Amino acid sequence: MPPAYELAVAAVLLDMDGTLVDSTAVVEAVWGDFAATHGVDLEAVLRCSHGRRTIDTVTAFLPDPHQARDVAADIEADELVRLEGIIAIPGARDLLASLPDAHVAVVTSAERELAVRRLTAVGLSCPTVLVAAEDVEAGKPSPDGFLRAAAALGVSAEDCAAFGDAEAGLHAARAAGAFTVVVGWL
């Protein structure tokens, strides 16, 4: 059995996709459609998209801002209705149940409606503090989301532990000053 560790923090900041919810099948299908439609390399899109807002990924491949906004809106609408195959990450339910709501936030690159739908679809409670894509001017790897979540909880980001699986989110959490924990699962 691995050793147990204790970490004293004022609050916990959690990424959603890949940390609480496994949405890999849906994400890969949606970005696969995007890559095929726009003639871009799917592997490059997937490398770019992990942990980032939809608009930021689309803009990386479609430089016309008007086209990028329209395409991102279409992708986000498509994701809202694709919930089949999404599952809770093992241990996510127990983790959320063990944390007092006043000391936990979700910081996600997903739009708020999508985040709530995904959490609800897999039977996870949605913390009161949820910082979504539309709540920040700059998405991950900018620290804005983590700073906003910590402030909403009434604590400093330096007094928080941030859990995430994506490089962009981990960079964002570190830039905010949070103690970061890399989530990986089998």
Residues annotated as part of the active site: 15, 17
* One-letter amino acid for residue 128 of the chain: T
Q: Can you tell me the distance from the alpha carbon of 146 to that of 40, in angstroms, rounded to the nearest whole number?
A: 31
Q: Name the E strands within the chain.
A: 11-14, 21-22, 87-88, 104-107, 129-131, 160-164, 179-182
The angle formed by the CA atoms of residues 84, 60 and 24, to the nearest 5 degrees, is 20
Q: Can you tell me the distance from the alpha carbon of 55 to that of 2, in angstroms, rounded to the nearest whole number?
A: 40
- DSSP readout, 29-83? HHHHHHHHHHT--HHHHHHHHTTS-HHHHHHHH---HHHHHHHHHHHHHHHHH--
Contact 146, 172 (CB under 8 A): yes
> Taking the CB of residue 138, how many other CB atoms lie within 10 A of it?
12
